[in-house]
Structure 1
Amino acid sequence: MWDPTATRRTVLLAGLVLTGAIGGLIRPAEASAGPGVKSPPIMGCGAWRAREPSDVIPVWDRRPVRIIVHHTATPNVEDLSRNAAEFVARKIQDFHMDQRHWIDTGQNFTISRGGYVLEGRHRSLDVLRGGTQHVEGAHCTGQNVEAVGIENEGTYSTLTPPDQQWERLRDLCAYICHQYGIEPTEIGGHRDFKDTLCPGDAFYAILPRLRGEVADVLGEPLPEGAARRASWPLLRSGSEGRAVQAAQHLLRAAGLTDVEPNGRFDERTVAAVRAYQQAHRTEEINGLIGGETWPLLVTAQGGDDGEVALAVRALTPDGAVRAAALPGIEEWKRLLSADPRP
C-alpha cells in the first residue's frame, strides 16, 4: 500500500502497457496470450510519463512463482478517469524514489479504481510479455524476486474493489499466470508474507474468489475447495480466539512471560509482540502477528516445550494432534487458519 504517513513502504501502485500501441494502450484483441487468455489494456511507463529509474532495473533469468495482491491504502476516489490513474501512479513513484530512495516504483503493476492498468517498475511489461524473466520489485521484502506485485488503488478494509477494478485484476492475473505458468492457487495477499493489514480485510477475504475466477479464465477450473487455502491469520489489538491463545503461549515459550494466555489480544500481548519483533528485527515493529512473525514463532527452537504443547492444545481442544506431530510449518498454518475468529 502507498501511504506517505506510514512508517514504511506501505503499498505500491503499478501498471502494464504494451509498447508501440496507439496512445500507449493495446486493445485486448491484439494482446492474446493464448486460447481464451488475453492481456487487458495496459498503460506503459512512457504513457503515464513516469520518471526514468535512478539505476539499472534488476531482471532475473527466472520466472516468478506467485502473484502478491496489495491495496494502496489511499482514498477511494470517485474520479475514475485515466488522468486520475496517471496522477496516482506519478505520486507513488515520487514517494518511492524521493522518500524511500528506491530506484523506481516498487511494484510491477498498478490498477486504478477506474480499471486502468499501468506498468509500475520499468521493464515489467516487456519482461512479462517474454514470459521467461522477472523484474525484481520492492513491494514485499523476501518476495521481490519470487513474486509479481500488483497494487490496487484504494483502501479495502471494509469495502471491496469496484467492478471495473476487479475485472482488470482478474484479467491481469490470468495473463500473468498464463505467461509464467503460475497456478491460480499461488495468488496471495501481502499479509501472507508480512505483518500488515494490506490488502485490507474485505479484499483479502475475497481472494479465494479471485483464484477461482482466474482459473476459469485459464480454462482450468479449480476443484471444489481448492480456491481456499491455509494462511496465517492476521492478529491485532482486539482479536480473540484460539489462534490468539496459541500465539500467547508461543510468546511465553519465547520468554515473554508477562503475557496471559487468555485468548484476547490485549495491551500486554501487543507489547510482547512488539518486543518479539524488535528482538528478531522484523520489517515492521507494529504489534501485529501476520505472515512474517507467525513463521518465526512456530519454528523457534529452544523455547519452553510446555508452552508450545499448550499452544497446540489451544488449537486442537479435542486432542487430535500432539506437539510431536507438528514438525512442519504448513501444519501450524493449517491449524491456525482453522480458527474462524480474527
Structure 2
Amino acid sequence: MSRRDVLLGGLALAGGGILAGGLESDQAWAAASPPIIDCAGWGARPNSRVVPIWNQRPVKILVHHTATPNVADFSRGAADRLARGIQNFHMDRRGWLDTGQHFTISRGGFVLEGRHRSLEVLRIGKRQVEGAHCTGQNVVAVGIENEGTYTAADPPAELWNRLREMCAYICSQYAIRPTEIFGHRDFKDTACPGDRLYGMLPRLRTEVAGALGRRIESRSAIKASWPLLRVADRGPTVLAAQYLLRDAGMAEVVPDGRFGRPMADAVRSYQAANGFEEVNGMIGGESWPALARPVRRGEGGDAERAVETLAGRRGAESLPDVITAPVWQNLLGTGGAP
C-alpha cells in the first residue's frame, strides 16, 4: 500500500444523510467553475513532500487576504508573480511543503491553484487536500487568499466577482452551504482578511447563494463571531476583556477600558502560556473562546464583572443562569447564526 493510499484512507465520510455543514447529499447545487490557472500554469516549484489528501469533504470556506500592497497591475503576469512569491515565502521562510492555501485570487480577478492537487481534488469533489492556511481548519476548510490588504479598502470588482464565482463552485462541488463561508479571524487572533473584506462576508454568503439559485435570509447570512481587539481600542468590550484576562490569572492587567501596550503585553503572555500559535497581543477568534468561559450568575469575581460590564447590572438580571459562548457573543454585539 502506497503512502498516497494511506492518506486517502483517512477519515472516511459516511454516505447519505446531511453532510456536516453542508447540503442534503441528494440535492446538489450546480455552479460553473471560473477559469482556474493550475500550478504548472504559473510556474510553481514542486512540492517538497507528499501533499496529504483526506478521504472527506471540506465543510467550510475560509477567506484570507495576502496583506500585500493593493497594486494597480491587474495583469496575468502580476498574478503569476504573486503566486510564485507566496509559494517561495511559504516554502523558504515557513518551511512548509508547498503553498499554504488552496487557491489564490489576484486583484485582476485571476484564480490560481495554490497548493498542488487542490484543483484536481476540487473537480472530483469528494476529498480534501490538507492545507496550511489556518491551524485547526486545514483538513476541513478550503482556504482562499485574496491579493491585497482590505483593512481600509474594499477589494476591486474583478477580485470580488471571481471570489463569488469561486465560492459558488466550491460550494457546489462539496455540498457546502453558502452560510459556511468564514474569515480567517473567526478562528485566529488576526486582522485577516481585513476589516472591510471581513465586513463584506454577509454579502458574499448572500451572493454565493444567489449564484447557486438559492436564497438565504439576511439573519442567516450574519454568523456569530468574536470581536477583534487591538492596541488603541477602548470601551466596555475592552474592559470586559481585561476582567476576563484577570480571571485567567493575568493579575497585572488594570481594568481601565483602554487597550494600551501593557495590555498587549499581558495578552501575549497569556497566549504564550496557553500554547497559542499566534502570540501577537490581539484578542480575536482564538483568545475570546478561551477567555469567555462559562460563568454562573452569582459566582462573583472578575468573570462576572465582565458580564456585568457588557450587560449592565439591570440587564444582567435577565440573563440565563450560565453565560455560555452564544450569550457572550450576543453581549459583545457579535451574535448571529451559529
The answer to whether the aligner puts 1:135 opposite 2:132 as a matched pair is: no
Residues 309 and 35 (structure 1 numbering): CA distance in 2 closer, same or farther, change over 3 Å? closer
Shift of 1:98: 1.2
Pick from 299, 324, 331 the counterpart of residue 335 of structure 1. 331
The percent of aligned pairs where both chains have the same amino acid is 57
- Give the whole-Å Cα distance in 1 for the aligned partners of 2:204 and 2:114: 21
Pick from 29, 33, 37 the counterpart of residue 39 of structure 1. 33
Q: Deviations over 1:153-208 (max 9, x none)?
A: 01111001100000000000011111111111111111111111111111111111
Pick from 44, 49, 52 the counterpart of residue 46 of structure 2. 52
Shift of 1:138: 0.2
Shift of 1:338: 4.0
- Give the whole-Å Cα distance in 2 for the aligned partners of 1:72 and 1:321: 43
1:86 maps to a residue whose letter is D
Q: Deviations over 1:130-172 (max 9, x none)?
A: 1110000000011101110000001111001100000000000
1:319 maps to a residue whose letter is A
- Give the whole-Å Cα distance in 1 for the aligned partners of 2:331 and 2:238: 12
Q: Deviations over 1:24-48 (max 9, x none)?
A: xxxxxxxxxx776111111001111
Shift of 1:267: 2.6
- Give the whole-Å Cα distance in 2 for the aligned partners of 1:243 and 1:72: 28
- Give the whole-Å Cα distance in 2 for the aligned partners of 1:157 and 1:224: 24
The answer (yes or no) to whether the contact 1:77–1:154 under 8 Å persists in 2 is: yes
Structure 1 runs, 4 residues or longer, greater than 6 Å off: none
Greater shift after overlay, 317-326 or 100-109? 317-326
- Give the whole-Å Cα distance in 2 for the aligned partners of 1:120 and 1:253: 42
TM-score for the superposition, normalised by structure 1: 0.85
Shift of 1:243: 1.8
Shift of 1:213: 0.5
Shift of 1:78: 0.9
The answer to whether the aligner puts 1:315 opposite 2:286 as a matched pair is: no
- Structure-2 residue corresponding to 1:182: 176
* SS of 2:42 mapped into structure 1: coil
The answer (yes or no) to whether the contact 1:137–1:149 under 8 Å persists in 2 is: yes
Residues 188 and 321 (structure 1 numbering): CA distance in 2 closer, same or farther, change over 3 Å? farther
- Structure-1 residue corresponding to 2:265: 271
RMSD across aligned positions (CA): 1.9
- Structure-2 residue corresponding to 1:324: 321
- Give the whole-Å Cα distance in 1 for the aligned partners of 2:319 and 2:114: 47
- Give the whole-Å Cα distance in 2 for the aligned partners of 1:193 and 1:214: 22
**Structure 2, unaligned stretches of length 5 or more?**
1-27
Q: Deviations over 1:253-288 (max 9, x none)?
A: 112222222222123321211111111121111110
- Structure-1 residue corresponding to 2:275: 281
Pick from 213, 217, 222 the counterpart of residue 219 of structure 1. 213
Q: Deviations over 1:305-341 (max 9, x none)?
A: 5111111112212225547321x323322322349xx
- Structure-2 residue corresponding to 1:82: 76
Give the paired residue count: 304
- Give the whole-Å Cα distance in 2 for the aligned partners of 1:146 and 1:221: 24
